[in-house]
Amino acid sequence: MGKAARKKIDRPHEFQAEVAKLLQLMVHSVYSDRDVFLRELISNGADALDKLRYEAIKKPKLLADTPLLSIVIAPDKKAKTLAIADSGIGMSEDELIDNLGTIAKSGTQAFVEKAGQGLNLIGQFGVGFYSAFIVANRVEVVSRKAGSDEAFMWASDGAGTFTVKPAKKATRGTIITLHLKDDASEFLDGRKIERVVCAYSDHIGHPIMLADGKEDPTQINTANAIWTRAKADVTPEQHKEFFGHISGAYADPALTIHYRAEGRHEYTVLLYIPAERPLDLYDPERKGRQKLYVKRVYIADDAHLLPAYLRFVRGIIDSEDMPLNLSREMLQNNPQVAAIRKAVTNKVLNELKKCARNDPENFAKIWEVFGPVIKEGLYEDMAHRDQLFEVAKFRTTKSAAVLLKDYVAGLKENQTAIYYLAGEDALKASASPQLEGYKARDIEVLLLTDPVDSFWVRTAMGFDGKPFKSVTQGAADLDLIPLKDAPEKNDEADGVTAKLIVAMKEALGVQVKDVRNSKRLTDSAVCLVADGDLDRTLEKLLSRQQDSGVRVSAPVLEINADHPLIIALSRVADSGGRSISLADAAQLLLDQAQVLEGEPVTDPTGFAQRMSRVMTKALM
């Protein structure tokens, strides 16, 4: 919008479709926790004051008409209105139209769909302003942008359209006037307002004044930034309130990290790990993860203070020694920001590790929600990989989520590697024939089924001195680990199948790299394994990516010398018997191994013909 809209100043503007839908929800809501609208409007006022303070560093003149930065709440019992005024940055005509007529953020559609289930997601989606319609049937916004002498009034009754007209306002900032619904008159009561402000907005770093006409306006919040207080002086309720302010969540955070760093750089950190998954966790445009302040002045909310795989961490970092006039563009390559990021990343990972150790139940919940995101760090951030291995949990053949530390503690005697199987589906993977020998020895195997797993596992050196080893790769080195209950395999088995192996190799030619006796099979007759440096699944995954340069190489076909079919075929091979064509059998076994991996058979026609021949023979 903008220029074209500007010419038609008298015609009502239509709300963006999503906004209209959202407004309908608000207007008709029977929302029990209606107080939130006040938190949202105060929060917007505080943001506007923060923005002004930042701009005024370069242009002190902006502060001239009203030096005081504050929010004033004024109920009017006679008119049944509630006004919320701030002396912040204000909005121009275009900004009124754009900011209060559309929802800029992506993922809005998803929100509107979910909002039908309840409004407690409001704050997360930057739709805070529209919550005014929970209690008001008409909303007027008069705003004057700092540095301009024009003012405009935005007005709407929440039903599809809004108007924007020139207006009069003596000083910079914004006044929002709510014409309260009949059932919302409780918000005309000063004590009620005070209670709500105390509950939700006490920490706002600007004074919030109540002007209820009786006496001089009184300040109703503490107005000191929560992070500047000593750690022990902040109560869990205050953390919940502040966490709610910056994240839009209504729950307690799962983890709170509050400390002051001293030394080369001085800064205060107050970060929270949410307990619930934000809807836009995978939105690439997601911003506002951690806010940067310098000496209590808000600077930016996308200063890259933590790596992307910690994007769910919310909070602030307040530097004591960065220059205030640092432009947002300069933050990108600022060495001090880089140093802070490194230190704070370490701190967050250490706190996660502590939590995993001391409060496993809480950690399990955090991991369930954010684990797949944290795991992105395993390939994005080599420098912290070892620390990430300390907190990463994996699904295994024995457990839904296990720490590597606990996996290693449960190693079998003589087990020297951390075994894994990569796959796209845990259920399918756990039924793989390649796992049989491991199960028979009660060896736990990691099931790596997240897409990110295929990237880090190729280059990972190992954990606690134990390398990662795929169960579908190379010869299985299981000889030294005893079977759980079955007797040890007969060594003569090797001799039994020698002739069969020769015959199969000849029949299969270049389709396989080798045919050999398996140590990993106990139930199935055959399976495929990789001989190169890549796991089979990874090889397949990577070969699908065009520029990876990886091609699927010929596999090794392993056969189970204890399997009745292999024993019988061995006899045929030894006796030179002709009851079945060994070439057909070899090809069918290879097809079978492929099917077991979820792959189609290479030559369906040939497969059908061979199958028919073998069945006919069996029936004759």
Residue 140 binds to ligand ADP (criterion: CB under 6 A) = no
Instruction: Write each residue from 5 to 44 as x if it is in contact with ligand ADP (CB under 6 A), else as -, in one continuous string.
Output: -----------------------------------x---x
| 3 state SS for 194-220 | HHHHHHHHCCCCCCEEECCCCCCCEEC
Residue 87 binds to Mg ion (criterion: CB under 5 A) = no
The site partner of 86 among ligand ADP, Mg ion, none (C-beta below 5 to 8 Å per kind) is: ligand ADP
Closest to ligand ADP by CB, 172 or 239: 172
Amino acid in position 35: D
Residue 174 binds to ligand ADP (criterion: CB under 6 A) = yes
The site partner of 91 among Mg ion, ligand ADP, none (C-beta below 5 to 8 Å per kind) is: ligand ADP
Interatomic CA distance for residues 402 and 411, integer angstroms: 13
Residue 45 binds to ligand ADP (criterion: CB under 6 A) = yes
- Name the one residue in this structure whose structure tokens are 């909070």: 315
Helices (H), 509-559: 536-543
CB of 162 to ligand ADP, least distance (A): 13
CA 393, 395, 396, 401: dihedral to nearest 10 degrees?
50
β-pairing, 71-76 vs 81-86, is: antiparallel
The window from 120-128, 255-263, 515-523, 569-577 that contacts ligand ADP (CB under 6 A) reads 120-128
Closest to ligand ADP by CB, 86 or 390: 86
Residue from 25, 38, 52, 127 in contact with ligand ADP (CB under 6 A) = 127
DSSP output for 143-190: EE-TT---EEEEEE-SSSEEEEEEE--SSSEEEEEEEE-GGGGGGG-H
Task: Give, to the nearest 10 degrees, the angle between helix 582-596 and helix 564-575.
Answer: 160
Structure tokens at 99: 């900011």
Other beta carbons within 10 Å of 84? 23
Residue 101 binds to Mg ion (criterion: CB under 5 A) = no
How many residues are present in the chain? 620
The H or E element spanning position 373 is helix 360-380
Task: Determine whether 580 is exposed, middle or buried from the number of CB atoms within 10 Å of its CB (0-12, 13-18, 19+).
Answer: middle
Residue from 88, 274, 423, 437 in contact with ligand ADP (CB under 6 A) = 88
CB of 388 to Mg ion, least distance (A): 34
Rounded alpha-carbon distances, angstroms, from residue 83 to 38, 45, 139, 179: 11, 12, 10, 9
Query: Is the sign of the CA dihedral 601, 604, 606, 611 positive or negative?
Result: positive
Considering only CA atoms, which of 384, 452, 394 is closest in space to residue 418? 394
The site partner of 445 among Mg ion, ligand ADP, none (C-beta below 5 to 8 Å per kind) is: none
The site partner of 437 among Mg ion, ligand ADP, none (C-beta below 5 to 8 Å per kind) is: none
Structure tokens at 212: 């209820």
Site for ligand ADP in 308-367 (CB under 6 A): none
Residue 244 binds to Mg ion (criterion: CB under 5 A) = no
Residue from 86, 376, 453, 591 in contact with ligand ADP (CB under 6 A) = 86
Closest to ligand ADP by CB, 88 or 205: 88
Cβ-Cβ contacts under 8 Å for 95 (sequence gap 6 or more): 143, 145
Residue 387 binds to ligand ADP (criterion: CB under 6 A) = no
Closest to ligand ADP by CB, 129 or 187: 129
Site for Mg ion in 124-143 (CB under 5 A): 128
The site partner of 89 among Mg ion, ligand ADP, none (C-beta below 5 to 8 Å per kind) is: ligand ADP
Residue 111 binds to ligand ADP (criterion: CB under 6 A) = no
Interatomic CA distance for residues 80 and 612, integer angstroms: 87
The window from 19-27, 124-132, 279-287, 302-310 that contacts ligand ADP (CB under 6 A) reads 124-132
Closest to Mg ion by CB, 75 or 128: 128
CB of 97 to ligand ADP, least distance (A): 11
Residue from 25, 42, 91, 515 in contact with ligand ADP (CB under 6 A) = 91
Structure tokens at 601: 């058979």
Residue 126 binds to ligand ADP (criterion: CB under 6 A) = yes
CA 600, 604, 606, 611: dihedral to nearest 10 degrees?
80
The site partner of 396 among Mg ion, ligand ADP, none (C-beta below 5 to 8 Å per kind) is: none
**Binding-site size, ligand ADP (CB under 6 A):** 17
Residue from 44, 131, 143, 201 in contact with Mg ion (CB under 5 A) = 44
Cβ-Cβ contacts under 8 Å for 127 (sequence gap 6 or more): 19, 22, 103, 108, 111
The site partner of 162 among Mg ion, ligand ADP, none (C-beta below 5 to 8 Å per kind) is: none
CB of 45 to ligand ADP, least distance (A): 5
CB of 73 to Mg ion, least distance (A): 16
Which residues contact Mg ion by CB under 5 A? 44, 128
Which residues contact ligand ADP by CB under 6 A? 40, 44-45, 47-48, 86, 88-91, 99-100, 126-129, 174
